[in-house]
Amino acid sequence: MSTSKLVIPDLAGKAVLITGASTGIGAALATAFAAQGASVGLHYNSSVDAAQALAGTIEAAGGKVALVRADATKSLEMKRAVENTAAAFGRLDGLINNAGGMVARVRYEDMTDEHYDAVMDLNGRSVIAASRAAIPYLKEHGGFIINTTSIAARNGGSNGAGVYGSSKAFVATVTRGMAKELIPFGIRVNAVAPGVITTPFHERYSTPAQLQAQLATIPQGRLGVAEDCVGAYLFLASENLSGYIIGQTIEVNGGMMMP
Ligand code: NAD
């Protein structure tokens, strides 16, 4: 699906921080939000070259972008990423919590406390830290938070991805709780749950055979690509399109799971 010709007027001029935006789904989101006229805080950590290249491409197309570097597992660094984005654009209207990952495939039987901490810090702590830092800015004009969960939050995760799936279920419940707390301030909180999307995520964690096995369970008959996820985020970011949608998760998975 392409959103390049789509125009959503109420996103123009909004300042949006997208975490984990140097690659995969986050990079597609940064490109799409910038194309809508939003100013994009492009958060990255280790992928310096990819982040700089993407920022260059967005700027060359006339978009506004601020690069912010932070280790997502460190609350103070995420706070600074939020503050630096707000300082760059003079406001913050939206936060997309997208940074995340499996860390490694580890079965529960073999799991260490270190692995548990690494997965929960990356997928859970990062969302709370970035959101906590963003809330005072979002309260100024109203705004949105969109979290990225996963199909694994509902199906328990594929082989060795159990604690990853659980961390995303945690994010799904954080989404509901934050949605209730924040809607009185005009801040809408929702989530997107990707299915199997071909990004660096699966290059790292899945073999071709594992992806083939997943493909066989997708009614639409193909794996997803990052751009397949973009429309759901644009929709949830737009007050005009989704202003009465609060605390929900949109599943983007080619029919692989229909909860
Ligand atoms: P990706 O690996 O391209 O993106 C993950 C992003 O998180 C990267 O930009 C990475 O740099 C960033 N990140 C990881 N660790 C970080 C750290 N310590 N500090 C800062 N940033 C860090 O893969 P993706 O598929 O685009 O993943 C985006 C989100 O979607 C993740 O939260 C992932 O869990 C979720 N998701 C992906 C799939 C899929 O099939 N690809 C399915 C469900 C959910």
SS3 per residue for 102-129: CCCCCCHHHCCHHHHHHHHHHHHHHHHH
User: In this structure, what token pair is assigned to residue 246?
Assistant: 């609060």
Listing DSSP states for the chain in one string gives ---TT---GGGTT-EEEETT-SSHHHHHHHHHHHHTT-EEEEEESS-HHHHHHHHHHHHHTT-EEEEEE--TT-HHHHHHHHHHHHHHHT---EEEE------S---GGG--HHHHHHHHIIIIIHHHHHHHHHHHHHHHH-EEEEEE--THHHH--STT-HHHHHHHHHHHHHHHHHHHHHGGGTEEEEEEEE-SB-SHHHHHH--HHHHHHHHTT-TTSS-B-HHHHHHHHHHHH-HHHHTT--S-EEEESTTS---
Residue 149 Cα: closest atom of ligand 1: 44
Q: What is the pLDDT tens value at each position of the chain, 259 positions in all?
A: 678 789 999 999 999 999 999 999 999 999 999 999 999 999 999 999 999 999 999 999 999 999 999 999 999 999 999 999 999 999 999 999 999 999 999 999 999 999 999 999 999 999 999 999 999 999 999 999 999 999 999 999 999 999 999 999 999 999 999 999 999 999 999 999 999 999 999 999 999 999 999 999 999 999 999 999 999 999 999 999 999 999 999 999 999 999 9
Nearest CA to ligand 1 atom 11: 20
Residue nearest ligand 1's atom 15 by CA: 100
Tell me the domains of the chain and their CATH numbers.
10-251 (3.40.50.720)
Return d(Cα 132, Cα 117) in angstroms, integer.
Answer: 20
Predicted local confidence at residue 1, as pLDDT: 60
CA of 219 to the centre of ligand 1 (A): 24
* Most informative mutation of 201, 203, 256, 257 for ligand 1 (most atoms within 8 A of CB): 201
